[in-house]
Chains A and B, each alone.
Chain A
Amino acid sequence: MDAGEALLLLLLIPGAAMLLTILVPSRHANVVRWIALIATTATLIDSIWIFAVYDFAEGGYQFTLQYPWIENIGFLGENGISLHLAVDGIAAPMVLLNGLVGFAGVLVSWKITHRVKDFFILFMALFTGVYGVYIGQDLFFWFFAYELAVLPMYLLIVVWGSTNKEYGAMKLTMVLVGGSVLIFIGIFAVFAEAGAGTFDMAVLRDIEFDRGFANTFFPFFMIGCGILAGLFPFHTWSPDGHVAAPTAVSMLHAGVLMKLGAFGIIRLGMEILPAGTDFWMPVLLVLGGVAAVYGAISAINQTDLKFVIGYSSVSHMGFVLMGLGTMNNIGVNGAVLQMFSHGVMTALFFAMVGGLYDQAHTRDIRVFGGLVRKMPLFVIFFGIAGLTSLGLPGLSGFVAEFHIFVGTIDTFPLFAALGILSAALTAIYVLRLMGRAALGPFNPRWENLKELSRWEIAAAIVLIAPIIAMGVWPDPFIDRIAPTVAELPKIDQIGGLFTLSSLTGR
């Protein structure tokens, strides 16, 4: 399969939308919104096409596209820095995820009225940056896109956010950019050590780095990217940032941006410096396990809905890091599945909370009650997100977490127990939330609440569809992820090419 232009479109469409939006006078807010909607629809279709057409029987990197940018000058040799795009079985679901969340994000942002134009310009920049990370195959552009995805967050939060937004925005930006300092140093070191004169990941993957070098620089990637994935103890930016951010930004942030971190650990750490995994991956597993439990316990104590979800994100991203840390095919499979599953689920969560907050102007769980009377659809959608979060079979969360626990049992049984414990803790806060706010006695203060707007309903449906699809029929995902994961260096194979169907068939 060789249609790399489809990948280029993922960058060009939102990029063009951004430029077009700049040219539209700011009084035409609706034109701006429609440009964003059309652009994200187009990228969603493109993403679905890429996901569907990715040839999993063949595996490996497909849709390869490479344009030289700077080459054969100074220390840069052949393809020194190039625009190199490709997706593998791990990136394909992530591309789909970004398409879904971005589309839903525009839908729920329809109600924004303050500086609409600026909002969508920054939104599109963020959206493009995320795509760039998922499909980039050149360290320069990878890092370029990574920073591009982080940078607009500051303004998006500080201008359109709520609740302690100046603090949240600055903390988030500084912590994340601090993490990228580590990545930056790691990239330089890898380039200098490789001496191949190129930032092309395809070339760097084939170079065998010295074990000592890999052990030294693996943590630069692991911690640098891990910070974005909510790695304990660098996770505190995440709840603060989520609470402060406007709805669509929380969605994109928890939905796709945090996944960039885990994805970066795979791309930079596991693929380029596999020699460092022996030493560091157990560390990642332990930290992930701690984050899973710690996040869940913290979530139980929160009274602000967004804080609950923010800490639950930390907890679920802990599962992802645990899965990666197992370094066996089932665990890593599960981690990638969880990245997708948590992405759509948490986006749904934030979309719903945003819908409620815009009417109620509070997110304090204690004052809500019996919302089901006024907002039945809200409760249904919120409930689906909650049940996915606690890992109900039939929804995507179960598939992902099951893989992770199976993988962890094989390597670190104790931590598998810890993970399962934190899944149980998730049930506590999710069910308590549902019971208190959604059901429970009706609080007459909310007599005037209205049902979600049609834009929010549309967004919710877009996000629920993949949750259920992956829950009942995970094969399309596993078919793509599993062979690619099996190809990663240093991955232990347990149970052959593991798929859920192979397990049930046995």
Chain B
Amino acid sequence: MDLEYQLIIPEFVMAGLAVVIIAAALAFRNVDQKWFGYATAIGLAIIAVITAVAYWDTNDDFGGVLAVDHFTVLFRVFFLGIAFFTVMAAVQFAGERLKNHAEFYGLIVFATLGMMLLAASRELLTAYLSLELLSFSFYILVGFNKLNPFSNEGSLKYMLLGAFSSALMLYGISLIYGVTGSTTYSAIGPDVVEGTRSIAGQLASFAGGSGGVDPDGARPGLLIGLVLITAGLGFKVSAVPFHQWTPDAYQGAPLPITAFLSAGGKAAAFAFFLRLFSEAFLPAAAEWVWFVGILAAVTMIVGNLMALQQTNFKRLMAYSSISQVGYLLVGIVALDAANITQSQDAASALVLHLIGYVTTNIAVFAAIIAFYNRTGRDDIVDLRGLAERQPFLAFAIAAALFSLAGMPLFAGFATKFIIFQAAFNNGFLWLGAIGVTASFVSLYYYLMVIKQMYLYEPEGSDRARFHVSRPLAGALVVLVAGVLFIGLYPTPLFDVIHSSTAGLFEQAAAISAAAVGN
């Protein structure tokens, strides 16, 4: 096999960057710690630009396990962007409240590397290893504030449940391997199609019944494997009922890591989810679409209802991100084995909503980090009077929260419109209706936050106006502008996304063409 190493140069460079940052800390002990942050950010930005320019037209794969196509490149740049903004937002925070800065930034880079590999993976074990690289980095990062008991608790909870979910996923992978005889997506795809049959047939074969059921077609192993992999992924993206770790991990983690976890961690898991389910499992859609649909519905409902009762902003954002996962899962449900065009629409809609959500979420967290830098508090009532003290931060938070609620002018409106339409087009009327209703409920708790900022006067001993540090303010301006841009004119972004998702369905298109030919 001919391995073309030039395809994965960005990944090598990322690993190098992480090592260099950590090693540099040993060499330069007297340098102001913030320069490690800025060096990391500059490194990430350079890699992002070079990756975008050099690889955009590539459509190749590395030994059949890592695809380097539009989709990969889009997500590489996307993850690098997430890491860049996280680091920019984190510099002041880390300088004032954390120790061991170089390791902090180095682990962020390692996590980003895991994300990049995950989006590119076309083989189950490679994907699993990438996911573990990502997860291990996060386990450490969540517990990085080691003197804070909440941070330790969050990290421990996250690690135990994460290990459990990894085991589930591995078991699922082994079952899939047992049924199809392969772990590469390209080999699984054509093979699962033969196992495809109705749920009723599956259940009948479970019951051992033979009444009219073709025993050759019955492959319960496939169904169990799919369920286990979905459950494992459900833990990683924190879909209900696998979400229990999320609020604790979000609350315990240092704020920039909460931002990174809610943005990067989710985005990477969904990139994996999407590639896996569209390249490998799409022909078997009839078998998984129902339980993913239920997962999406439950996630939207529970996430939003739990968010209603939160008093801590980070916990609120944890439940809000859970509900966003529900909307994203709608995109997976809208994949349709019989209709490749519809599937690609759904995939594009999912990625568009993902990018809109991530941009918005980082904006919220960047603003909250700026607030926390000044006050050291993160309860919702602490935001009282923010509109008087720092109007720009209040505006940024309000804009981002309105965007999460799916209100016009902001990203959430356009992206939710498109993702729910994809579900409706595929006949999932009930799911789209639940989604719209759930996002209506979400408006209430976002408004409760906005009310604190705009309605009340500042309270407590510290009521003065304050300034936000320049790099953070700059990053925040860019993010809010991005939220508005996606909301008002998503067309260019949507075009790019749509061209990148086409590659995901080449194989499914070939399979269905072959089926028609027969």
Q: Which residues of A contact B (CB under 8 A)?
A: 26, 69-70, 73-75, 118, 125, 129, 140, 143-145, 147-148, 151, 154-155, 158-159, 166, 170, 173-174, 177-178, 180-181, 184-185, 188-189, 191-192
Given contacts A74-B422, A170-B447, 4 further A-B contacts (CB under 8 A): A144-B408, A154-B447, A158-B455, A181-B437
A70 to B432, CA, bound (A): 21
A215 to B494, CA, bound (A): 34
Known: A70-B491, A174-B444. A159 touches B454 (CB 8 A): yes
Tell yes or no: B402 within 8 A of A by CB: yes
Residues of A within 8 A of B151 (CB): none
Number of interface residues of B (CB under 8 A): 40
Can you name 30 A-B pairs with beta carbons within 8 Å?
A: A69-B491, A70-B490, A70-B491, A70-B494, A73-B495, A73-B498, A74-B348, A74-B418, A75-B342, A75-B345, A75-B421, A75-B425, A144-B408, A147-B413, A155-B450, A159-B455, A170-B444, A173-B447, A174-B440, A174-B444, A181-B437, A181-B440, A188-B420, A188-B421, A188-B432, A188-B436, A189-B424, A191-B421, A191-B425, A192-B425
A173 to B442, CA, bound (A): 12
Q: Contact between B407 and A147 (Cβ–Cβ < 8 Å)?
A: yes
Q: Contact between A148 and B443 (Cβ–Cβ < 8 Å)?
A: no
Known: A173-B443, A191-B424, A192-B421. A181 touches B345 (CB 8 A): no
Tell yes or no: B433 within 8 A of A by CB: yes
Tell yes or no: B489 within 8 A of A by CB: yes
Residues of A within 8 A of B408 (CB): 129, 143-145, 147-148, 151
**Cβ-closest 10 pairs across A and B:** A74-B345, A188-B424, A144-B408, A192-B424, A147-B408, A181-B440, A148-B408, A75-B345, A184-B436, A70-B491
Residues of A within 8 A of B409 (CB): 125, 148
Residues of A within 8 A of B341 (CB): 74-75
A185 to B490, CA, bound (A): 22
Residues of B within 8 A of A154 (CB): 447, 450
Tell yes or no: B349 within 8 A of A by CB: yes
A184 to B432, CA, bound (A): 10
Residues of B within 8 A of A145 (CB): 408
A73 to B454, CA, bound (A): 40
Residues of A within 8 A of B429 (CB): 189
A322 to B360, CA, bound (A): 44
A194 vs chain B, min Cβ distance (A): 11
A143 to B421, CA, bound (A): 14
Residues of A within 8 A of B342 (CB): 75
Tell yes or no: B417 within 8 A of A by CB: yes
Contact with A along B310-341 (1 / 0, CB 8 A): 00000000000000000000000000000001
Q: Which of B402-443 contact A (CB under 8 A)?
A: 402, 407-409, 413, 417-418, 420-422, 424-425, 427, 429, 432-433, 436-437, 440, 443
Residues of B within 8 A of A184 (CB): 420, 436
Report which residue of A73, A159, A188, A191 has the largest number of chain B beta carbons within 10 angstroms of its beta carbon: A188
Residues of A within 8 A of B494 (CB): 70, 73-74
A107 to B344, CA, bound (A): 52
Known: A70-B494, A144-B408, A166-B455. A151 touches B402 (CB 8 A): yes
Residues of B within 8 A of A155 (CB): 450, 454
Residues of A within 8 A of B418 (CB): 74
Residues of B within 8 A of A158 (CB): 451, 454-455
A436 vs chain B, min Cβ distance (A): 35
B410 vs chain A, min Cβ distance (A): 10
Residues of B within 8 A of A188 (CB): 420-421, 424, 432, 436
A129 to B424, CA, bound (A): 26
A170 to B408, CA, bound (A): 18
Residues of A within 8 A of B451 (CB): 158, 166
Residues of B within 8 A of A166 (CB): 451, 455
Contact with A along B222-239 (1 / 0, CB 8 A): 000000000000000000
A17 vs chain B, min Cβ distance (A): 15
Q: Contact between B443 and A177 (Cβ–Cβ < 8 Å)?
A: yes
Known: A69-B491, A185-B436. A75 touches B422 (CB 8 A): yes
